[in-house]
Structures are given as C-alpha cells and as structure tokens.
Structure 1
Amino acid sequence: MDRTAGNTVRSTVAWIATLWVVYIFIWYLQYKFLGHPGSVDLFTTLTDWLGFHGHEKAMRIGTGSCELLCAIILLTPGLQGLGGLGAITLMTGAIFFHLVSPLGIDPYNDGGILFKQACSVWTCGLVIAVLRRDQLAALAHRVGLLRPHMV
C-alpha cells in the first residue's frame, strides 16, 4: 500500500472512531442535562459513595459538559488527537466507577450496555490518539511540552 492510500485509511478509521465517540457523548447528554431519573439515580449513587451527598447534579452536569467539550474537540480536525485523549480520560473514570463503586457493570439490568459502550469509547479514543499521534506531537511542541529534536 502506498503512503497516500495508508494516510487515507488511517484518516478514515480515525473519523469512524471519532463519529462513534461523538455519537455516544451527544446521545447521553439528553439524560445528563435534562435530569433523566436513571441518570440522576446513577450520579446519586456515585456522589453518595464518594461522600459528596447532595452534589449529584453538579457531577452529572459537569460530566456531561466535559463530554460535550470533548465531542467538539473531536470534530475539530486539527485537535482530533487531543479529543481522543479526552475520551480516554473520561471513559477511564467511567470504567473505574463501574468496576469499584456500587454501580457495578450492569446498573440498569440491561446486560451492561453502559459499561460496554464506555469500553468501546475508551478503545476508540485510543485508536484516535494513536492514529493522530503526529498531531499530538505537533500540539505538544506548540505549547512547549516537546523540544524540536523530540518530534
């Protein structure tokens, strides 16, 4: 496969992964932002377990806001790699809480769909970050995290 075809394949895979992550993040915003009872219950379980009783709404809206920001970053072509890292970060938290808190892997008794989607978004975030690693290196260089000889 020539270099141009390889770049096209990488770009296509990155965009497919991006669209999946953005879809999941945007889809669940309705539940977080509008206070769906299932979302309220989930975040109440988390905040109570963390010892932040009464702060469910702040955590729910805060999480949704971070997911919305990540979706916007992912849809910005020059920042896709950064959005991939954001998706990994957000879903690491989600996966962690599903595994160690009273939520469990299947909080809605639906076969663990939420947990499985978190794992798929984490995986897609990793794919995006790897495929857009040159973009991440250039961004790190621009903000002074890498010296020119390190790129």
Structure 2
Amino acid sequence: MKKIIGFIPHVIAVFAAAVFLDSLRYKFTNAPETQEIFGRLDGWAGTLGAGGLFSQTGLFSQYTIGTAELFASALLLIGIIPALRRLQALGALIALAVMSGAVSFHLFTPLGIDPNNDGGGLFMSAVIIWVTSLVMLVIRRKELTGLVGDIGAALVRKD
C-alpha cells in the first residue's frame, strides 16, 4: 500500500503537466477559444475599471498564465527525480494558485463554466487539477516547508 501511495504524486504530476502543456497550444497561438475566454474576462474587468487586465499585454494575459502553467509543469515533472522532490511541491503550489484563479473566474464572472461550449470540460479540468494540486501539497508538505525554510534562511541575514 505504501508503494502505491508513493506513486500518487507522480501520477498527479504527469496528469497536471499533460493538461497544462496541452493547453499551451491554445494560449501561445492565440486560438479562438483563448480569445473568447480572455476577451470575456477583459470585458468584465473593463466594467470594473480594469480594462486591459486580461488583454494580450495585460498583467493576467493568456501568455502570463501560460508561462505560469509551463513553469508548474516543468517543476512537477522535474520533481519526479528524488533529489529534486522539493521542486514538485513548488510546482504544485504554482498549479494551485493558477487553478484557484481559473476556478474563481469560471464561477464568479460572466465567463461561466462552459465558455467554449465543451460541456464544462475546461472547468472540470481546472477543478481536478486544483484538487490534485492540493493533494500533492499535503503529500509534499515536508518538502514545501523545507523549501520555504531554505529560502527564508537565504534571505534573512544571521549574525
């Protein structure tokens, strides 16, 4: 049983990375599906006085989100190597952050859960990655704590 549980983070890492990497072809090529999603979000942001936030040059553009997904994928996959396990925790943290935004925007903006008429598949993928990233963080909590501690030690001067 312990061996099976030991494989769970790797399955999560490969699944999340596959979904993220597959989505990059839409985000980085400015596909119509991506234009629809980010266009709706930018229109909504405009009604709040933050127009351009989700535009192609905006802070939360498809390129920014895609780059975060690319980094998360790389860290999740590199973290399969035992000596680099901490990076898997960092990748899961980035994935959780990105998917928290995705799920929130699907639920609480005019985007809705089915913006591309795919039966909610995009939304469900976001929810599944959000949940599995949270599971990964629970499993890798020691690695994440160690990573945070090392970063803190590097930033705080000890005399």
Tell me the TM-score normalized by structure 2.
0.82
Does structure 2 retain, via aligned residues, the 8 Å contact 1:81–1:129? yes
- Please report how far the alpha carbon of residue 38 of structure 1 lies from its aligned counterpart in structure 2 after TM superposition: 1.2
- Please report how far the alpha carbon of residue 54 of structure 1 lies from its aligned counterpart in structure 2 after TM superposition: 8.3
Encode CA deviations 1:51-103: one digit per residue, 9 max, x unaligned.
22485213011111111011111122221111111111100000000011111
Partner residue in 1 for 2:71: 69
Separation in structure 2 between the aligned mates of residue 80 and residue 54 of structure 1, nearest angstrom = 30
Secondary structure of the residue that 1:107 maps to in structure 2?
Answer: coil
Ranges in structure 2 where 5+ consecutive residues have no aligned partner: 80-84, 154-159
Does structure 2 retain, via aligned residues, the 8 Å contact 1:70–1:86? yes
Does structure 2 retain, via aligned residues, the 8 Å contact 1:10–1:131? no
Does structure 1 retain, via aligned residues, the 8 Å contact 2:89–2:144? yes
Secondary structure of the residue that 2:152 maps to in structure 1?
Answer: coil
Secondary structure of the residue that 1:75 maps to in structure 2?
Answer: helix
Percent of aligned pairs with the same amino acid: 36
More relative contact order, 1 or 2 (CA 8 Å, 6+ apart): 1
AA aligned opposite 1:26: L
Does structure 2 retain, via aligned residues, the 8 Å contact 1:40–1:57? no
Separation in structure 1 between the aligned mates of residue 27 and residue 64 of structure 2, nearest angstrom = 9
Tell me, yes or no, if structure 1 residue 42 matches structure 2 residue 37.
Answer: yes
4+ residue runs of structure 1 moved beyond 6 angstroms? none
Query: How big is the alpha-carbon RMSD for the aligned residues of Structure 1 and Structure 2?
Result: 1.6
AA aligned opposite 2:71: L
Tell me, yes or no, if structure 1 residue 137 matches structure 2 residue 145.
Answer: yes
Tell me the TM-score normalized by structure 1.
0.86
Ranges in structure 1 where 5+ consecutive residues have no aligned partner: 146-151
Does structure 2 retain, via aligned residues, the 8 Å contact 1:74–1:84? yes
AA aligned opposite 1:75: L
Partner residue in 1 for 2:115: 107
Separation in structure 2 between the aligned mates of residue 15 and residue 130 of structure 1, nearest angstrom = 14
Encode CA deviations 1:86-132: one digit per residue, 9 max, x unaligned.
11110000000001111101112221001000000001101111111
Tell me, yes or no, if structure 1 residue 26 matches structure 2 residue 34.
Answer: no
Separation in structure 2 between the aligned mates of residue 24 and residue 143 of structure 1, nearest angstrom = 29
